[in-house]
Each structure stands twice: as C-alpha cells, then as structure tokens.
Structure 1
C-alpha cells in the first residue's frame, strides 16, 4: 500500500516530511476536496482524514470511498453516452483521486467501462474476476495493469475471498448473482412491481456528445464476467457494497447463508434497480438487506443513467420504503436515499463516524 503524507486524524495534521510518504499532486488534492469535502482533505499533502468513512457517489453504482485514509473506488464508470454532463465529473477527475484500488462488482459497461483507463492513469490495483481483469486490460489496448483475480466467471455462487487492502483494512468478496427476472411471486410475501416511467426529459437537457456516444457503443456489449459483493472492515466499522441484486432466494439461497455469516453492516450500499423489479419489485434487494443487517441502507443503481429505460431516483423512494415495511420495525435500517442529480459528488452526504458497537 502506498503511504500518504499528512493524514488528517481528528483535525490534527501529521508531519508531511515523514520518511517513506509521498505528497499528492495539486490535481489529486483538488479532486479529493471536491469528492470528499475540503475539510476532510489535507490541503498540503492531499491525505484524507482517517477518523471518518467518507463515500461519494458519481453515478449508477460507482462510488469513491476513503476508509482509514485509504482511497478506493467501487465500480468505475462515469455514466454518459445516452446523455452528456448528467454526472458532473469524468474519468480523468476520478483517476486524479489517486485511488489505491478499484473494486469491480461485475463487468457490464455501466459498472466497469472506465476501469482500464482509470487504473492506467492512477496505478490503482483492479480487483475482480479473471474476466474483469481481461476486460480492463482490453480497454487500454492490452496494456499491463495490476489486477488481483478473485475467481472467474465459472466460480460458484457463495465462493468467498478474504484479504487485506491495507493494514487494519480487511476485505471479503462473495460471489453472488446478477439481477434476473423470475416468475411472479404469489402469496403474503409478494412485492408489488416497480415500473417507473422513463425519464426522457434528461436527454433533452443533457444532450449526448459524439465522443460519449462512441464510448458507450465501444463498451456496450462488455461481458458480465461474474458478480462480486464486497465487505470492508476497519476496526468495528463494516461497509458492504454490491452493484446488482440477484434472485438469491429463488436460485441460490445458500448465498444468503454466506451473507448472514458476515459481520452485520454499519452501512450497506446495495443495488435496487434491476430486471426483477418489473415482476417482483424490490423483493430481491430486501433479501440482501435482511441478510446483511445494516444500520444504514444506501440505494445504488437507481438513477437516470440510461433515460430511455431508467428514471430518476425519486421514483424509487416510495417503493423502497414500502418494501422495507415487510421487515420487522426493529430490523429496518435507516435509509440514506440518494437522488440524482443533487447527490452526485455531494461531500458529507455519506459521511460516517465509526463508533464501537454496543
């Protein structure tokens, strides 16, 4: 892990001249201040404060995270192609964050289309399946990228991979399933379909530029390559993220047992938009929430990144709360709803103060 200088801990700056550390570029300092907030980033070294977990959303299921002062990405795609400028950043600025790692949930274009370019520009290590690594390298003409393979597309759902990203920052990756349409469930546990009207107005306001259309076309058919859920733990704080919610109860119920065996999540960032919403609503997403037992749930993959078939996040607010009403009141998490475009790159929106568990 690359050592950084001047990390901010409780507002106290460390000596930026300590041996073995490096000072960030002005571009990195500016990008980190924009994503995480000026007060969270040392203006001299660019180090991010260690006493908070900071998460910044940049569209679809992509997030920049600072945990224990370590900056990393969850997925790597700035939504564009159907629109331009809808998300107020680009791959160059994301790369300027100088992430230590990029964690790929699955390889479809709306999750990994910028992984290769960002990894090449920043030197970040890509984590994902063998196919995710191959796709990232293909994006940059076969250039060598540092990539840690976590199984392959042939790995079995429920397979688990444990490792350390940095001293004191442990990671568990679990194979699970992509969202998929299943037959309509009947009975007392049946969820209402969620079928929001497409948000076509955003295409008119944020008209797609030719370069963005070409980028989307080049990556449109990228393979899934397997689906991974990641849990990050530092001290007593647990952050879990996944960029798709599959029909686990119907097709791989044992994966729910694997998720239940993980430590309960302080924060769970989970996908709610998916193929099964049109038949079974947000039932699949709820199963993940029940298994992971979060204090706070943050939805992802629910914004208007493809206006011909998607809608703004506001369309999912009521269906999400109605779905959570199936859970016992004491087990329901606090919902930290993200709404496009207000919550893109919104410092402080997802800031958490780790505290010892009861």
Structure 2
C-alpha cells in the first residue's frame, strides 16, 4: 500500500491545509490539468478545504473527454465495417458519437473488443490474418509510447492487417491555448505528473515565464494535490512564476529518454482538435510518413467525416474551466452516466462524472476536521 496510505494521511493533510490557509491572503484561481487529479479533489473535498476565494478550475486533462466527436464518429464508421475487428480500452465504448456508440455497434453485430494493451490488439491481428484489426489510440503523452511501440512492432514483424486510429494530444500547447483565451481566469497550474514522467519538464519553464503563471508538477494522491496547491499559492503570493517539480518520486526533468525517442520515430506533431476547445496548433501527434500505412484514417478513408456538437451539452465550457458541471442545465437530468450527452459525463476521469458520482451538489459535503 506504499504511496496510497502514506499519501492519504488525514493528519498530514490537515497540516498542509493549515499551511495553505496561513499562506493565502487574497483570492486565487488555479487549474489542475489532469482528470485523475480532478477526481481526487472532488472525492476528498479538497477544494472545500481551501480558503475562501481560492478556486480549483477543472482542466481538460481527461483523454476521453477531449477526443473530438469527429474522431468518435470515425471510430464508429470503421468499427461497423465488415471484416474489421475494432479494439479499444473499455472507457471508450460508451462515449457517444453523433448517433450511437461502440456498444451499439457491437450489439448490431460489429466485432468490437476490449483490450488491456495495444499489444493485445496486435496479437489479435496476428491471430486473424483475414481481418483488419484497428486499435483506438487516444490519450495524452502518457499512453502515446505504448501505442508508438505497437506500430513499430507491426512494421518490424510485417503485420499488414493492423492499423491505429490516432487521437493523441499534448499538454503544453493546451496550457498555452488556455492562457491565450480572452476568458481565461487561470493564475497557476497543477501539471500532470504522469505526463511529465514520460516527457519531462523541459517545455514548462518557458510557459511559466511567458504567461506569468506558476506551474507545479503534481501527483494524484490527496497529499500530492495539497502539496501542489501549497507550492502554487506560495508562488502566487510572492509574485513568482516558475516551474516546480513536486512529484520527484516519479518525474525527472529529462523524462523517459527511450519513450521520447520512440515517439519521435513513430509520430510527428500536428494540429489537433480538442473536444469543447477547438483546434490547437501543434497540440497532437499523427503517424509519421514512415508509418503512414498503419494509419486507420487513411486505410479506411474516413478523413472527411465532420460533426456537430450537441447544443444542450455544455461539456466544452466545463473542459475550458468556464463553468462547473452543475451549471449545465442538463447535468443530472438529461445527462447522467447511464445516458450521457457528452464525454465529461461518461469518462471515468470526466469532471461531470466526478460531480455526479460523489453527489457534490445533491448532498453538501461536511468538512470534518482531521485534528491535525
């Protein structure tokens, strides 16, 4: 249980909360980038323990949530084709497209399979040479290296019936897009520790300096989050804006060189649309020319599919931190985890799902003193 019980100690949490209260003298708004951090914050009521006026803005760091609707529809179009085995992690199966989801495709006879690794999908391709096997590769920098490795292996082993539907996005350009928005209220960031464990921290000091915002690399347990908040508000109170690594047990400045080298070989950066945010320049990856034959968009000719978002769902504003989930009129009524209108409700890391799961709005949370 190391790093679980130790980093959830209520006495230590109480002391960190006291330090935050002692440090803060004015209102501040900071954004946690990662959806996993959002769930920790909401589940443990961390935002309710903070001083009045200190706000946690829930960022777009849920990979399922930011996957654009047009990519979902492309996945559905491919999965519905005969002689296709469509492989995905389980969290994508209930994400709604324009009219259906992968579960509906499966119920209609499509061969949709849940796998636990992209290499599982590659094995499926080896075992079914008469089928086209597609793996749905989504996510941030964290999940990109194993997907890159799988394509590398497909080429090395000469497996022609495997392809990857790519929807990978990068965090630093998203931070820049958020800061450039006229409606931006973010004054500091808690950066996602797992992303930095892969890519390192070299891209963040320039962003912190350019936009005058502290960026603190943070983990995912309650004490990680509280320590990250303390470091962020300490910088804000002092008028500082630098990168700090508060997750040194997992993150090195240089990241993972082997993973970075694999990414550089298999992928190339590209403009990428983010659901609810729009197009962000150079914010994503696509397969490089050397591996383009393994790109499912080109193999199945679905590049031209376009979509229109729901006019009722306000998940885009949630993803940008402009509103909290309960401020959407559909929240908890027209939109629930059993009948989601948008990915922020269906995803296990989505902000709307966190608010619904922990009954944040229906039952006010009582803050119980830790005695620390």
Shorter-chain TM-score tier: under 0.3
* Greater C-alpha Rg: 2
TM-score by length of 1: 0.27
Q: Which has the higher helix share?
A: 2
TM-score by length of 2: 0.26
